[in-house]
Structure 1
């Protein structure tokens, strides 16, 4: 029995988050899960290949490639057109199945040929139940159709070599992706055709109808609340589905303001975003421009709207590691369950500057949400995220924020139960407040 009743609301919300992650086994499933939530909230779907007929006061959503999603809410009355955007990403580091996936042998084994997707911690993928999820393109009577697939079974394992034959494994051993990180599908009971039969059965087609696949390894370890007082969440894909979930909840729950509010979650952030559906693609730019034009405004109105707009780039942050505090800045360090993290970097790996930080801190003050500041050690560079990448196409005032977590890019990560609620409250306030920006000199806030 949980000894701390005060945490019940945060635990309940965290269980909702973990259920969202279970349903989001690939970036394609994440978008499907998000779109389902928008449909249930009354949003209307628009498509890039069709004309948009928009009405003030209405809500809409669209996707690109089935793996990036964008939604927007139009104000009841158009005052000064501008966008208030929260953006996250749908993908996480994993392994992708190659087009010819079956490795036969040695000695009766069947293995699957995979390659790394993103910067994962290799050692965390060994000796745990794995499966496959993603999409397959299948032949139909009408042509070609994309179908989601998730094999709901403990299907694969990547076994470690025994320490007796690899004495260096605990002394800084470097794993080779083509040799060491190949999952085992069968120890002799299956033939190659069994793999395709399994896939066809999951898709509802005969194996010869499967034309192409985008399939990824999925960690089957179950998300859970951790600790005697259950103050932590443990799960695959916390980075960045925790932010995708929290910003989605905030977007749906926010009241209609005078801004054009936008939710975005992009694919391919973990591999650089250089795709048609990534943050550096034209997806955001095209969508924002079409909104303005569909409302009867012009190109100049679009440019003026961007100058008055604000982007919150939401991607998780590094909580202080209790065993490796030496890796962190002595004072710009952050903690789980202590509030939203504002991330900054002198080399602009994050987009945060003094103006955007001040604007977002004001929003958090209004929401009663605590704020922390993160910066890397000055001699230890960190990673980047989608804020500065998306600014290549759509230049906006932007702040990089996240939620503190441990073991980022592990197959199983750890976060705090309170932080999801903090993010939802802050972003609800962001979406419910009209931020009026004058250059980088001043901003006012109307609620």
Structure 2
């Protein structure tokens, strides 16, 4: 099972270079399992025992099973994650021609570790909006092959490279795509038009706009002398999206279960499809009883917010509180912060710990050092939007927000097992 789950994650990561592709990949897997797509612009008819999913902006997705037991009686079991990861986004007018090279101007999305982006084989993917036959349409594209690189400056020309060199995103991050012969002009929209024709077999009249991101073409892999690790891009947080999906598909149909994967977590979640927006509440209000019954249902419910946790790094162990250093392959981590950067409380933490113990899943705790700042997740945001009790958890990882992150190869199976048990749990605290 562990090997199958890991390979499934690797395949999912490859198919999901952007939040748009991740949402499409999740939707395909849901439809194959009998989930019905609901259009937010149409009327819905749902029934107990039904399986449904909703997307918004092509980059956020909510999937849910309506249990045979009334949600008003048993509450709903929610697992939350996010589809986006730090990356380099192409600017609207990106063409740069310097020293005979065709480059693209980029904007840094989220809190990316920038140094690992140098000297990687990069491709480009995302959503394109275009005009065809007088109509405005959109499609996903993925160049798939390496088409760009950001070469490092040789150590001979940058003697400070190993001494804390500050990277200037405006000047040093534009990837190189090609050499141009004078007086050849670079035209990025023409490049997109050609890709649309190759990938979707039609000719667009005009490319109107796009949301395109560079990504590393190196596939994720199980690595290490004994295969102890999974290395890959976007483990934060597609790993949790994939684990949540596997748990939802395996869950029985007795209780009402929800998987929500929001976009824009890495930039604050404030959007129509982000956790700080109305999407989740609007979907739940359309399928649950209204008024007093809605509030009663939410108060009987629980959200497991699943987002990666910081494992204790052997070279930087002093960056952790000495009693709270999660280890790779030692199970999911309960994340706690008294200033509400995480939404965990003693009741929700205790319930999650109980689930782990009951299902023989190892569990750990994380509290950041008292002299360091603490990151956050969709947990406190969703809790404050919906009023639902929440526990923040995640699998331990190294190199979070790098172009290539590292997790334990045993931990995915641990997370899927406990999330499946959560979806099946007859009683919530």
Q: Compute the TM-score of the two structures, normalised by the length of structure 1.
A: 0.92
Match of 1:166 among 158, 164, 171: 158
Q: Show the 5 A alignment for 1:213-362.
A: 213-258=210-255, 260-292=256-288, 297-362=289-354
Conservation of the 8 A alpha-carbon contact between 2:82 and 2:241: yes
2:64 aligned residue: 72
Q: Cα deviations across residues 153-173 of structure 1 (Å, max 9, x unaligned)?
A: 111111112212211111111
Conservation of the 8 A alpha-carbon contact between 1:112 and 1:183: yes
Residue 224 (structure 1) shift: 1.1
Conservation of the 8 A alpha-carbon contact between 1:11 and 1:225: no
CA distance in 2, matches of 1:192, 1:312: 51
- Tell me, what secondary structure is at the counterpart of 2:190? helix
Q: What is the count of residue pairs matched by the alignment?
A: 423
Conservation of the 8 A alpha-carbon contact between 1:197 and 1:206: no
Residue 338 (structure 1) shift: 0.5
Residue 257 (structure 1) shift: 2.2
2:10 aligned residue: 18
Q: Show the 5 A alignment for 1:78-117.
A: 78=70, 80=73, 82-105=75-98, 107-117=99-109
Name the CA shift for 1:175/1:426 in 2 (closer, same or farther; >3 Å).
same
Conservation of the 8 A alpha-carbon contact between 2:121 and 2:218: yes
1:440 aligned residue: none
Name the CA shift for 1:305/1:156 in 2 (closer, same or farther; >3 Å).
same
Residue 207 (structure 1) shift: 6.0
- Tell me, what secondary structure is at the counterpart of 1:185? strand
Q: Cα deviations across residues 89-146 of structure 1 (Å, max 9, x unaligned)?
A: 00000011111111122x2111101110000111010011101110001212362111
Match of 2:118 among 122, 126, 140: 126
2:391 aligned residue: 399
Residue 80 (structure 1) shift: 0.8
Residue 16 (structure 1) shift: 1.3
Conservation of the 8 A alpha-carbon contact between 2:74 and 2:427: no
Residue 20 (structure 1) shift: 0.4
- Tell me, what secondary structure is at the counterpart of 2:384? coil
Q: Structure 2: where are the runs of 5+ without partners?
A: none
1:5 aligned residue: none
Match of 1:201 among 186, 194, 214: 194
- Tell me, what secondary structure is at the counterpart of 1:75? coil
CA distance in 1, matches of 2:83, 2:105: 24
Q: Cα deviations across residues 385-415 of structure 1 (Å, max 9, x unaligned)?
A: 1101122311111000000111101100111
CA distance in 2, matches of 1:366, 1:189: 67
Conservation of the 8 A alpha-carbon contact between 1:328 and 1:377: yes
Residue 202 (structure 1) shift: 1.8
Conservation of the 8 A alpha-carbon contact between 2:132 and 2:203: no
Residue 71 (structure 1) shift: 0.7
Q: Cα deviations across residues 191-244 of structure 1 (Å, max 9, x unaligned)?
A: 445643332122124464211100001111221111121110100111101111
Conservation of the 8 A alpha-carbon contact between 2:311 and 2:326: yes
Question: What is the RMSD computed on CA atoms of the aligned residues?
Answer: 1.5
1:145 aligned residue: 137
Higher mean C-alpha displacement, 199-208 vs 308-317: 199-208
Conservation of the 8 A alpha-carbon contact between 1:60 and 1:73: yes
Q: Show the 5 A alignment for 1:376-391.
A: 376-391=368-383
CA distance in 1, matches of 2:176, 2:204: 21
